[in-house]
Structure 1
Amino acid sequence: MSSIRYRTLTLVLLVFGVSTLVIGVISYRYAAHQISELSDARLAQHAHLLEGMSQSTALSDDRQAMLSNIENALQRAESADSPYGHRYSNQLAFQLWENDQLLLSSSEAPDITPRQRDTGYSDLTIDQQAWRIYVLNQPDTDQRIVVGERENTRGELIRSVALRTLLPELIGLPLVALLLWWSIGWGLAPLSRMAEQTRTRGPHNLQPLSLATLPRELTPIASALNQLLARIRQIRTREERFIADAAHELRTPLAVLDLHAQNALSARSHEDREEALDHLRDGVTRATRVVSQLLALARLAPETEIQRHYRPANLLTEARETLAELSPLAAERQQQVILHADEALDWQMEAEPGAVETVLQNIVGNAFQHTPTKGVIDIALTATPHHVTLCVDDQGPGIPEQAYSKVRERFQRAGPGAGAGLGLSIVDRVVKRHNGEFTMTNAPQGGLRVCITLQRFPSQHGMISIDPSAS
């Protein structure tokens, strides 16, 4: 796992190093240019100085003695051991020519013939030494002055300037690294404190993190954690209520089952025992239905929506199979079921495994339960190129409009009945998972009309691909 401190330190030092290198290269090139310009100007200045001195000697009565004195003075200056000398003095050279005769020369002057160069600057290599030469011609007096400087002197000066520029930065680099290490650690301290507070929390502490003392950069992270904690609190509250409601709903059926079992055991006659066993069977059926619905709700819980797969399904076929399964219940209550569907239409769709069956069993089952004996239940299927719709009309007492949203919740009933109040909640979950529409209205015959509309092919709308193993 990479460290933010290491990554930041590496990035900053890399930027610092590259910047130092670029600045060093630019400084080196600039220093080289300026030193070259300054040195060339100095060569020209020395040449003109010698020109003035040579003109003075030309007017003197004892010219040779004066030239000899000038040469001796310059030789003393060239000596590094002389108090007048300098260690760079022997890096400079000069010559004074007149009528192709060498009148004056320094000891370090290269061997340059008078007609070797015209007036101006030039670069020469003499005796494996690189020289920068300036030649000053005087046509009226037939004099030629040659002033030169060794190139290695310029290079040494350039390197010295560049080194003095870069050396403080190179020496300060470790200090900068230490300061950066400490500064980054100090800057990350709020993140470490937030991590420690989160790590030391108890499993039941889902209170939001305080944003008051956090830096602006950490606020999005803390806000995201608070949103996650809020969702966890909602899920926990919902599940705690679900467990409490489920326990309450199952307590009564189990108590009734126990009572019927005791009645069957203590029955004095065969008829009483048969009646108690019939009641026991009805109670087992109801308890089984409640448990099945609880399992269906658990499977359809929002936290299970991360992974979703669809498989091909046929709405008309599923409807017929569900009606066949529920036909004993309709026969027992002498109810008539009418299915309206155009077999010529395409009823193919995609759905999660068992989703269509679950919706049909709950909607049609509720219709059977609330429709009176010898009543009629109408089931209508319609289809469009992109959607399929299922509508079920019963002849029961119906539901007040203000209770439409209430009955979608778990364990909520619109009125007294034998159900657990889970059927429509399951339908609502399934429809939401398929991005469908679930509506309730009053049926024309006075009961309740329940309609669901589902996308025909949700995998083609950027949802989840079809499960290949189910096809």
Structure 2
Amino acid sequence: MSLQRRLMLYLAVCAPLVWALAFAFSLDRTRHEVDELFDTELIRLARQLQASVASPSVAQAPPPVRPSRDAGSADLRDLAVAVWDAQGRLLANDREGAQLRRLPAASGFVEDTIGGERWRVYYLQAADSSRQVAAGQKAAERDEVVSGLVLSQLVPWLLMLPVLLAAMAWGVRRALSPLNTLSRQLAQRRADDLAPLPARSVPAELRPLVTAMDGLFSRISELLARERRFTADAAHELRTPIAFLRMQWDVLRQLQGPQRQLAEAKFEGGLDRLERLVTQLLTLSRADAADAARLTTEVDWRAAVEQVVNDVLPLLRRRRIELACEWPPADRPALPLLGDTEWVAALLRNLVDNAARYAPQGSTVTLRMQRGSIEVENEAPGAAPETLSQLGARFTRPAGQQESGSGLGVSIARRIAEVHGLALEYDSEAPGRVRAVLRHR
């Protein structure tokens, strides 16, 4: 169901309910005011009648008072008055007064049934108890007045109901027109149009939605830009090892003997490089898509370091590098962190791998697990500041490197560190040392 139909349904249901409550309240107040008005008239009539009776001693009741012919629209059958003396003799009455019952102990208003009809009668006792006056009125008369007053207000409202519903429908459509306009704008957009929506022209209630959508468009735009950059870089970087392997394969098919063995070794090295490049590309792609909001588990640094040692052990043996791992005291755990242990292991593996590849053969790489930071240090010659500033640029490697690589290790490490709220810094202040430092931002 659309929002417009839902609003119209709510209004169509709620409006009659509100009117019913208003009608009940109006009926109650009208009845109260009518009762108050007629009760006041009955009291005044009873007092005037008591004052007009000159002598309480009358042998027999006078004839009933007959109304004049010119009575207008009045219905005197709905009113009745009567006067009795202390002995219960009827002193005075009108045409309907003979129906009233004398209640010697009554004083004030009494609800009574006379001739099958409800009456409201006011009894007034004289100060010396010599006379009792009664003034009564049919309840139907009051009900007629109440219904007439209420219906005179209700009928115009009922007649105006279609007009009111049409006005509400028009108002709902006008109120929802900005939402419909926004929907049309989004429906007419091209798939690659991620420009922000105009927030000034929308109502205040829709601005949070427009702001959230603009944020979504911005994140999608950044994601698409990363994907395009990743695709272009991957295509560019994969072209070289594939061309190298094709050339080595052509050479390998034509060689025999020792030369063939050398070509096979180069071909195998090319396959290793291609495998490493593809692995790093996949890791980088996953790191770009990582979500920091899902990292809610305490990182197990010992498990991560154990995995790193197993992964880089072949490289350490080939280059005769010794890996030294320094841990803080048992009561001071290393760098408390919420994250993914597998991702953290990939981060450390890239740092240790780079440190081992670019350290002199037979040297030492040190991994320091500290309370406030983690450091990876090798014994490589100090690097220039401009070289350190370029670390982390994708597919960028310092000139003069003998070890194979694709220039993605530091990029992967920086991205994983960023997702975990860590800062990765490089320095070469110590002579003959290059150090990578991880710490909280």
TM above 0.5, yes or no, is: yes
Q: Does 1:9 align with 2:8?
A: yes
Whether the aligned pair in 1 keeps the contact of 2:428 and 2:434 (CA below 8 Å) is yes
Matches within 5 A, 1:149-164: 149-164=137-152
Separation (CA, whole Å) in 2 of partners of 1:52 and 1:322: 117
Aligned to 1:33: 32
Instruction: Show CA shifts across 1:396-420 (max 9, x none).
Output: 2444445545423432334453421
Aligned to 1:166: 154
Q: Does 1:124 align with 2:112?
A: yes
Whether the aligned pair in 2 keeps the contact of 1:43 and 1:147 (CA below 8 Å) is yes
Separation (CA, whole Å) in 2 of partners of 1:176 and 1:305: 53
Q: Given the superposition, is the C-alpha separation of residues 443 and 71 from structure 1 closer, same or farther in structure 2, using an over 3 Å criterion?
A: same
Q: Does 1:422 align with 2:416?
A: no
Q: Given the superposition, is the C-alpha separation of residues 336 and 156 from structure 1 closer, same or farther in structure 2, using an over 3 Å criterion?
A: same
Whether the aligned pair in 2 keeps the contact of 1:379 and 1:392 (CA below 8 Å) is yes
Aligned to 1:363: 351
Matches within 5 A, 1:7-86: 7-13=6-12, 16-47=15-46, 50=49, 71-72=65-66, 74=67, 84=71, 86=73
Separation (CA, whole Å) in 2 of partners of 1:402 and 1:340: 30
Aligned to 2:285: 298
Q: Does 1:354 align with 2:342?
A: yes
1:210 to 195, 198, 219: 198
* More displaced stretch, 270-279 vs 220-229: 270-279
Give the letter aligned to residue 207 of structure 1.
A
Give the letter aligned to residue 71 of structure 1.
V
Q: Given the superposition, is the C-alpha separation of residues 118 and 249 from structure 1 closer, same or farther in structure 2, using an over 3 Å criterion?
A: closer
Give the letter aligned to residue 358 of structure 1.
A
Q: Given the superposition, is the C-alpha separation of residues 440 and 104 from structure 1 closer, same or farther in structure 2, using an over 3 Å criterion?
A: same
Separation (CA, whole Å) in 2 of partners of 1:15 and 1:42: 41
Q: Given the superposition, is the C-alpha separation of residues 311 and 339 from structure 1 closer, same or farther in structure 2, using an over 3 Å criterion?
A: closer
Aligned to 1:410: 394
Separation (CA, whole Å) in 2 of partners of 1:161 and 1:371: 102
- Give the drift of 1:279: 2.2
- Give the drift of 1:443: 5.8
Separation (CA, whole Å) in 2 of partners of 1:414 and 1:338: 26
* More displaced stretch, 111-120 vs 236-245: 111-120
- Give the drift of 1:50: 4.6
Aligned to 1:396: 380
* More displaced stretch, 333-342 vs 157-166: 333-342
Separation (CA, whole Å) in 2 of partners of 1:108 and 1:259: 129
- Give the drift of 1:295: 0.9
TM-score normalised by the chain length of structure 2: 0.83
2:225 to 237, 242, 253: 237
Separation (CA, whole Å) in 2 of partners of 1:330 and 1:203: 49
TM-score normalised by the chain length of structure 1: 0.78
- Give the drift of 1:244: 0.8
Give the letter aligned to residue 284 of structure 1.
L
1:272 to 240, 254, 259: 259
Give the letter aligned to residue 106 of structure 1.
D
Q: Does 1:440 align with 2:426?
A: yes
Separation (CA, whole Å) in 2 of partners of 1:358 and 1:159: 85
Q: Given the superposition, is the C-alpha separation of residues 379 and 34 from structure 1 closer, same or farther in structure 2, using an over 3 Å criterion?
A: closer
Separation (CA, whole Å) in 2 of partners of 1:454 and 1:212: 39
What's the % identity of the aligned pairs? 25
Aligned to 2:216: 228
Whether the aligned pair in 2 keeps the contact of 1:9 and 1:181 (CA below 8 Å) is yes
Separation (CA, whole Å) in 1 of partners of 2:36 and 2:29: 11
SS in 1 for 2:104: coil
- Give the drift of 1:136: 4.9
Equivalent residue pairs, number = 432
Q: Does 1:284 align with 2:283?
A: no
Q: Given the superposition, is the C-alpha separation of residues 279 and 201 from structure 1 closer, same or farther in structure 2, using an over 3 Å criterion?
A: same
Whether the aligned pair in 2 keeps the contact of 1:94 and 1:106 (CA below 8 Å) is yes
Aligned to 1:460: none
Separation (CA, whole Å) in 1 of partners of 2:122 and 2:439: 98
- Give the drift of 1:292: 0.6
Whether the aligned pair in 1 keeps the contact of 2:244 and 2:270 (CA below 8 Å) is yes
- Name structure 2 gaps, 5 residues minimum: none
Q: Given the superposition, is the C-alpha separation of residues 123 and 325 from structure 1 closer, same or farther in structure 2, using an over 3 Å criterion?
A: closer
Whether the aligned pair in 2 keeps the contact of 1:310 and 1:352 (CA below 8 Å) is yes
Separation (CA, whole Å) in 1 of partners of 2:99 and 2:307: 116
- Give the drift of 1:228: 0.9
SS in 1 for 2:345: helix
- Name structure 1 gaps, 5 residues minimum: 78-82, 456-471
Instruction: Show CA shifts across 1:346-384 (max 9, x none).
Output: 8798753533432232112111221133333223333x4
- Give the drift of 1:102: 3.2
Give the letter aligned to residue 322 of structure 1.
V
Q: Given the superposition, is the C-alpha separation of residues 283 and 147 from structure 1 closer, same or farther in structure 2, using an over 3 Å criterion?
A: same
Whether the aligned pair in 2 keeps the contact of 1:370 and 1:397 (CA below 8 Å) is no
